[in-house]
Chains A and B, each alone.
Chain A
């Protein structure tokens, strides 16, 4: 239990497990902001539940959720500026959502339809939005981390007061890209915030198998900058810590590594069954620390929330999810020949040739099918 002791010693926490607030650390968000955060977190949770069902029904191929990690994802993104960059891992719909990525955008992406911003080319939840400065998700673990450092270096060279936030999991901290990117950022004092969602499990491999170190945040020390351990299920602690890291980054103070200590309450993705590798008792323990429950208890204590509002919001969100789904499912897929677009800015001759070949074949197939 060495790790647990080290965590309790230095973890940053604003909200206690019963929703009581540490006034000295309270980032003092407005009532409106608090409710916006809560709404986004609840929506994210409900979308996860609905999408798992859709995948089981065979309506979508794959889904990967954020259940249990909503505070770490949404709280951090909420602390950023409009021009800052989010470099997501693959659970960060909530981060994009609070920057303006709509539920409709998300569902179009999951269905890979003609209005999907990624044009049916990406796995579900692998979102991208250049308009919102949300970088395209890369599946190979940790490979997005150097992109964030590059974005930060670019901001520094352009003398823009912008910074980049990169999300990754505890598994990614075993990848070379994590270490070399931290090293790079440290050397150049790049305005970059590294946010590790330590959800304790990299699919079936526990955190203890990723590192013998007592925590992940201490790794920052080796690269010459600060690491902070934060209660990842405490949305206000995540918000306050990320905000501080961004202020430091923008004022030339260099990078920060934030370890958001949290838990993946659900499976890794729809392709995973966690019963094969972890006990229910552990999950039950973490369910009591659910970031939504804790935040709701805080809002109730502040008299911003009560059961009736909760019921009403759940109804509203459910309706919004269902009506958006209904509309999105009617949108046709992108045309087959669109696969040849965007390989390059300008389509080269060989791709034009391959596209024309495909079109001819599709035309022929249509004729054959019609003749039956």
Chain B
């Protein structure tokens, strides 16, 4: 099963099992979603529950907040993180604050899904990796499913959560094949996970950079360096303890994050490791991030801007 099919399976299961769940966004109905995640669901559940909306990000996120307040469990699909900026007020000033500012009177059980990341030659305005920005905001949860199992399990977990949950699906992952236990329900959304065991170095990553990092770890193994790969999975609230356990074992850390380096989520992970795991470190924490430029279109330029397997291998060797 592919990552995309796993999301669809999650959507279908949610729509079947909970009458409060409905999906809305741009092109989610007849078209089946810009990334084909909801294909076939309109036919199964009808236009009220799989709802094509007018093209306005601030309104489908804002109306999603309203519908959640009104007793529903809306899933809002924002086509990509790039366009989610048109809804940012609804996220930062509303979804994230209403529980707190109302003194705990209001709950917003809203799930917002969007594609993120570069690598498909779509230039800067289609290639941002802003999940780290979102992770800056208290009051929301930020998930970055990087496996087929998480693609479904995290969506189901988001729908059980009483708070607004933002799910960032890296666009390069949609066709990825992987294992999925059909009966697996909601995934844990509180912990990071070790995806590969190793004793020599800890590679911390999330989302679309996980496959690249695992590949780099395989190459490193052939060079007799055993890398432990930790998938952060949940950027907010962040599970730092899994990182620290690994660092205590390997004493070396490289963080792979497709976002821009300055002020990146990699910087946050690095800071927390220094604060709480300084004594375990034998080398400075290293970061591999995207070049700090708007993502270019041409293939070789885009490759030059993005973190690559070779760079991960080289960086680890240089530690």
Chain A residues near B (Cβ < 8 Å): 85, 87, 116-119, 121-122, 126, 128-131, 135-136, 138-140, 143, 145-155, 157-158, 164, 176-177, 180-181, 183-184, 187, 341-345, 348-351
B292 close to chain A: CB less than 8 A: no
Please tell me if the beta carbons of B66 and A343 are within 8 angstroms of each other in the complex.
no
Q: How far is the CA of A349 from the CA of B191 in the complex (A)?
A: 11
B138 close to chain A: CB less than 8 A: yes
Residues of B within 8 A of A184 (CB): 53-54, 56, 59, 63
Please tell me if the beta carbons of A151 and B69 are within 8 angstroms of each other in the complex.
yes
> How far apart are B41's CB and chain A's nearest CB, in angstroms?
16
> How far apart are B25's CB and chain A's nearest CB, in angstroms?
12
> How far apart are A104's CB and chain B's nearest CB, in angstroms?
15
Residues of A within 8 A of B64 (CB): 150
User: Which chain B residue lies CB-closest to A192?
Assistant: B66
Contact with A along B68-90 (1 / 0, CB 8 A): 11111010000000000000011
Please tell me if the beta carbons of B162 and A121 are within 8 angstroms of each other in the complex.
no
A150's contact among B69, B93, B139, by CB below 8 Å, is which? B69
Q: How far is the CA of A143 from the CA of B139 in the complex (A)?
A: 18
User: Which chain B residue lies CB-closest to A129?
Assistant: B105
> How far apart are B175's CB and chain A's nearest CB, in angstroms?
33
Please tell me if the beta carbons of A121 and B70 are within 8 angstroms of each other in the complex.
no
Q: How far is the CA of A228 from the CA of B211 in the complex (A)?
A: 58
Residues of B within 8 A of A119 (CB): 103-104
Please tell me if the beta carbons of B93 and A345 are within 8 angstroms of each other in the complex.
no
Residues of A within 8 A of B89 (CB): 140, 143
Q: How far is the CA of A149 from the CA of B90 in the complex (A)?
A: 14
A344's contact among B61, B67, B72, B99, by CB below 8 Å, is which? B99
Known A136-B101, A143-B89, A147-B65; judge A345-B162 contact (CB<8 A).
Answer: yes
> How far apart are B298's CB and chain A's nearest CB, in angstroms?
34
Known: A117-B105, A151-B69. 18 other contacts (CB 8 A): A128-B106, A130-B105, A143-B93, A146-B62, A147-B62, A149-B62, A150-B63, A151-B70, A152-B66, A155-B70, A184-B56, A184-B63, A342-B100, A343-B100, A343-B138, A344-B99, A345-B107, A345-B161
Residues of A within 8 A of B161 (CB): 345
